[in-house]
Structure 1
Amino acid sequence: MNRNLSQRHNICLADDQKTMKRIEIALKRSKELDQTAMMDQASKDYNHEACKNEMWNPERFSLLYKTWIWEQASPDQKVKLNQLFWIAYYSQIISAEIATIFFNQTSAAALYGMEDFRVVCDTLDLESAQERAHIHAFKTVSEKFEEEVFGERIFTYPMRTPFEKTMLFSDLSEFKQWWRKWQLQAFTAISANSAFVGCQYFTVRGLRTLNGKIVQHQLSRYFTEHPDKDNAPVPSKISYYHFIDESFHFNTSTIVSHDVINSLPKPSKIESIIGNMALQGCQKDHYNFSTAINGIFWYDPAIYQTIYKLMRSKVFNMNHNDAVEAVRRAFCEESEGMLASYKTHRESVDSYKAYLQDFHYINKENKELTLMASNNLEKHLKTNRKAFESFKKKAA
């Protein structure tokens, strides 16, 4: 067909056959290794009694690992803390994947308005279906676990929209939460109408997935190294299946954000500003690091009440004063666990910098992760100690 009739744009993905081929191969392999059926079967197979006495992750991936609470815990309590890491971690992943499903579709809406981008949109459709399977598996296990162990929610929550705050435990005030919700709604409209902003979303998604890879690869190893894989805990199998799918999702993010975007017209000034605002928002989300859970950017003071509730539960059976003191010693004293979480945070900063170095539209503050990198152990402890005094008064 005459090029003038078949193409509406001077630049199109078909002109970059190398990138087109990479996307096609990635989609083919993702279909071949799709873990959806395995995820769904694992959801059906989960039985609390069958795996309640065994860890689900490598030991170091336990809630409050190497804090005062961990050091005082009995062997049975340590198993529960290990299982609670899984529950807490994947409850956070659910929140992120709800947003991913939505923004995959808004980005695809903009890209499908360009020529030759169907293969990218087909890839995003597959990923969104996989994310729904992931969410179902995580929710099924987590809610059954909390019902059996606590009889109430600890880290889980009812389904939510993508406009809620992504970080479950954050330092956002009510006004900041409202403002963030408005920003996400505005970004929705823009990303559905701007192919560049739609592609740029995958720069942010790439960073978020890159952080996940740091932890999820290690979580998946509990299953791959288990001496009896057929009888390994179902949650460890889910971690493994999830890691396989997410490896392809990260590959998609990298190709779209680094290569596919080059098949689009250069961004306008406003599109560049919006792209940098999205990255600045990611820096804000990832500024904190959590003493409670290595690899998640939670704001420690926001989780005090949840940990207090855990200490008062039948798992730990502490009285009020002991539970408050446990929160203080876990979050306000430097520990090996806190240092490990800070180290993961620094690793994330370095990996983000490497991921962003080749982009021309990204400003210096985002390329150097100025905001995220400014957090440190001293600030973390100061914030935790100050917030604890307020928590202690309210808990009295």
Structure 2
Amino acid sequence: MLAKNKTLDPNIEPASLPQAKHLQLITRTYQNNTDSDYTEKIRDLGKEFNYGVNSNHYWGIPELSVLYGTPLYNVASTSQKLALNHLFWVGHYNFIAASEANTSIYNTVTNGVFRQIGNYETLCQELDFETEQESYHIRTFQQIGFKTKMAIVGKAMLGNSLHSKSDQDNNSLFKVLIPEFVRDFFISSRGNSRFSIYRDNTLKAIAKTMLRDKKPYYSQYLRDLEDKGQPIPAPVDGLGGKIAPRYWLKFFTTHWGMSPFMACQYYSLRYMANAMLKNQEYSYVKYFRELERKGEYIPTPTAVSYYHLMDEAFHTTISQTIAKDMYKDFPKPTAYEKFVSGVMIYKMQCSLLSGFSGVLPNHAGGDDILLMLFVYKLLKSPLFDMETKEALDWMEKCFCQEHEGFHVGLKYHQSLLESLQNFFGCLDYQWKINREMGIMTSGASINKALQNNVKIFKQFRESIVTSI
């Protein structure tokens, strides 16, 4: 039963619980989620995973492979293609694991707001339960990922010495050009610099000033951090780490943890993550069902993908319900709240949805220098065992010349675009460019992807040559 707590603001009327369809849907979703055993199956599959048993099977359709459709993939051996299929799964779920760790944080932040409001106890229980589920998902992804990477490439993919060297060179130049007292203000080897502390405190003060009438709803989670003198968490990995710089994430988090509307609006951002996951994961589900129909062996990672999407279906329903319906329980957003929510989604489009990959089909976001570094190290690893020049020549063909991989990437990009347009088109408080996913739409071009890659690869090649 939902708790009959009194709301704190007379302007916020508690929803008529027996009649509110969205609250009935939340209750049914919570009951179905807690009754299912998908999480337990994922946990057990992770514990039992043995790469040797699964190594001679595709874990998804061939196009879900690193470098799929590239000239190099076309000449790869059968064993290399299997490994590329497995590494795609590992990379995909490594990103999901980091993103789900982010979700656990923000579930807790927003949950604190809903608990302060009252009358949403079942929702709070569902969010707590989701956070517990995510911990099992993350552990399983990490178990399978570690064993797979060690079996295929060993320690060859660990570390990032190229970027470390570059950073050291830049820091040396910085020390020569900038006076010491200025460096000490902007940079600290002991943690946050004085500048970053002032900046974060200023942004927090702006948020709290603009939301001062929402103070009674301030999340207990954020209150506890303040009492302990700890900063607001801001992830650097996963989806959260790609939305915006860390100081923006802290700024946004203050809003999500203070305003009932903004707490709901966070779930429109979470829905983007849900939609990206489904766009990537549904192909594994179809592959699972096809193997099951034929009575063929189902690899453990394929089964994990299947049960994970079953779990995440409940989470997606919650995101949709809060973002599209529950926010209407509260007063209409102010101009300031509309502005901040618009900035959030706009930044998400720019940072993660403005392009697509030609070497990682079904991967949101364009090819960048970190992905090029990953492919370079992969080609130098025991899987391909290439010399530097050979690796760079193949990379130029894969990243900078049109091939099937770009067309596959565009296909998945368009599928995700349609899903997000359908969702955000219903949110009348959002900017037009967000309702229509304008930035994402403009990035749906193979020519633009190639132009971007040519420029980035030139920089990457030069950094490799100068580091030798």
Q: Say yes or no: TM over 0.5.
A: yes
What does the per-residue CA deviation read over 1:89-148, in whole Å, with 9 as the maximum and x for residues that have no partner? 111111211111111111111111112111111111111111111111111110111122
CA distance in 2 between partners of 1:261 and 1:230 (Å)? 46
Q: Which amino acid aligns with 2:356?
A: F
1:199 aligns with 2:264: yes
Residues 24/155 of structure 1: CA separation in 2 closer, same or farther (3 Å cut):
farther
4+ long deviations beyond 3 Å: 4-10, 153-157, 165-170, 227-231
**Cα distance per residue 1:272-318 (max 9 Å; x no partner):** 11211111122122112112222222431321111011111111122
Q: Secondary structure at the match of 1:23?
A: helix
Tell me which residue corresponds to 2:394: 326
Verify: 1:274 aligned to 2:340, yes or no. Answer: yes
User: Which of the numbers 350, 363, 375 marks the counterpart of 2:431?
Assistant: 363
Name the counterpart of 1:166. 238
Q: Tell me, in whole angstroms, the C-alpha distance in 1 between the residues paired with 2:67 and 2:128.
A: 37
CA gap of 1:201–1:169, structure 2 versus 1, over 3 A, is: closer
CA contact (8 A) 2:102 2:240 kept: no
Report the number of matched residues.
383
Distance 1:30 1:168, change over 3 A: closer
The AA in structure 1 aligned to 2:405 is G
Q: Does 1:299 align with 2:375?
A: no
- The one-letter code matched in structure 2 to 1:33 is S
- Cα deviation 1:316-355 (Å, max 9, x = unaligned): 1222211111111111111111111012112222221111
**Counterparts of 2:409 and 2:159, CA distance in 1:** 22
1:289 matched residue in structure 2: 356
The question of 1:104 aligning with 2:112 is answered no
Q: Provide the residue aligned with 2:119 in structure 1.
A: 116
Contact between 2:102 and 2:239, CA under 8 Å: does it hold in 1?
no
Query: Relative to structure 2, which stretch is displaced further, 13-22 or 107-116?
Result: 13-22
Measure, in 1, the Cα distance between the counterparts of 2:406 and 2:447. Answer: 11
TM-score of the superposed pair, with normalisation by structure 2: 0.77
Alpha carbons of 1:7 and 1:332: their partners in 2 closer, same or farther (altered >3 Å)?
closer
1:14 matched to 2:16? The reply is yes
Matched, 1:46 2:49: yes
The structure that has the greater radius of gyration is 2
Q: How does 1:1-396 map to 2 (within 5 A)?
A: 6-8=6-8, 9=10, 10-15=12-17, 16-152=19-155, 154=157, 162-166=234-238, 180-227=245-292, 231-284=297-350, 285-302=352-369, 303-375=371-443, 376-396=445-465
| SS of aligned partner of 2:245 | helix
Distance 2:129 2:252 in 1: 23
* Whole-angstrom CA distance in 2 between matches of 1:169 and 1:393: 27
Identity %: 25
The answer to which of 4-13 and 24-33 deviates more is 4-13
- The secondary structure found in structure 1 opposite 2:61 is coil
Secondary structure at the residue paired with 1:193?
Answer: coil
- Measure, in 2, the Cα distance between the counterparts of 1:209 and 1:19: 19
Task: Choose 264-273 or 136-145, whichever is displaced more.
Answer: 264-273
User: 1:51–1:155: structure 2 CA closer, same or farther, 3 Å change rule?
Assistant: farther
1:174 maps to what in 2?
A: none
CA 1:222–1:92: 2 relative to 1, 3 Å: same
Structure 1: distance between partners of 2:456 and 2:154: 29
- The code of the aligned residue for 1:267 comes to P
* One-letter amino acid of the counterpart of residue 40, structure 2: A
Q: Match of 2:186?
A: none
Q: Secondary structure at the match of 2:132?
A: helix
> Does the Cα contact within 8 Å between 2:33 and 2:314 map onto a contact in 1?
yes
- Aligned-residue RMSD, C-alpha: 2.3
Q: Is the 8 A contact 2:45 2:300 kept in 1?
A: yes
Structure 2 spans left out of the alignment, 5+ residues:
161-232
For the 8 Å contact 2:366–2:449, the answer to whether it is kept is no
SS in 1 for 2:154: coil
Amino acid at match of 1:209: N
Using the alignment, how far apart are the partners of 2:121 and 2:366 within structure 1?
40
Question: Given that residues 49 and 144 in structure 2 are in contact (C-alpha distance below 8 angstroms), is that contact kept between their aligned partners in structure 1?
Answer: yes
**Counterpart contact for 1:39–1:238, Cα < 8 Å:** yes
